[in-house]
Amino acid sequence: MEKDDHSDYQLPTSFKSSRQFRTRKKPDRSIKKIDIAVNKLFHKQIEIVNNNYKLPNPNNMFSENTWSIDDLQKTKIKLNEIKNTLSDYNPAEWRNHTRKTNIAEHIRWKLKKDIDPELFTQAWCKFYEIASTFPLIPEEVNHTKQLKTIHLCEAPGAFVTSLNHWLKTNKPSIEWNWRATTLNPYYEGNSLCSMINDDRFILHTLDCWYFGTDNTGDIMNIKNLDALIDLEKDNIDKIMLITADGSVDCMDMPGEQEIIVSHLHFCEVVTALHLLSTNGTLLIKIFTFLNVKQYL
């Protein structure tokens, strides 16, 4: 009697670890679809080009009456209607749902497993993707080998650690120094709900952080904003990159997030315009731009 050949059935011939018996599987089509979808997300870019644009005369700024774009206001209404439906869901269950349906979620897990970056967060990923996709670091830096950066509303510090990783990986010869601002986590007058409850990075880099004349770190205070500008204007280093990652708690009025955050964005942009050197880059986080205050 001939011995049966079980190879066609992928059956084990001994009781070893199951890892020894990998079944032959065809490439999973769903994985390919996910890869295609993720690649589309990474290439979701919009470039606004206007070669005739000139900065307005400062004397004429904010002199027009408030106006709006009807299509954007309709979009805002629809968006808020959808947001309102989320109040019926348990927050923990909703976060779990969004995490599972995020087709790029496995990227964070893979990065943490393979690279284990310093202060790894979603913001870390955002910055690294932007730095790898766009010419965030001006060409001039490649010649001077010097880079000075300012990071507004930076806590807990993921943009800084991400930039550090990017520079060490892509431009190791560049000498880099930086300064950051944020609401001071050690100032008792600051509201706990307004601050980021994570000082792991700040604690070990305090010399690089500036909290203003009143020690709050609030750049919406004009005295702190002016003090930061004066501090850096005395510095001979050219500031070639400014990042602004600020936001404001909008839990009480989620439907008016843009209006609530617009003043902070204004202060971030004003600070950047004062400090940036010629050909420098500003990277600012804006959630949506449906309200006129976001683009005035």
Q: Which parts are annotated binding residues for S-adenosyl-L-methionine?
A: 157, 176, 245
Burial 179-215 (b: 16+ CB within 10 A, else e): bbbbbbbeeeebeeeebeeebebbeeeeebbbbbeee
Query: Cα(109)–Cα(201) distance, rounded to whole angstroms?
Result: 21
Catalytic residue among 126, 171, 285, 293, which?
A: 285
User: Using N-to-C axis directions, what is the helix angle for 257-275 and 222-233, rounded to 10°?
Assistant: 30
Annotated binding site: 157, 176, 245
3 is catalytic: no
Please count the CA atoms within 13 angstroms of the CA of 263 that sit on its side-chain side. 9
CA-CA distances (angstroms) from residue 178 to 59, 147, 213, 231, 239?
A: 33, 8, 19, 13, 9
Q: Is cis: bond before 138, omega within 30 of 0? A: no
Give the residue numbers marked as catalytic. Answer: 285
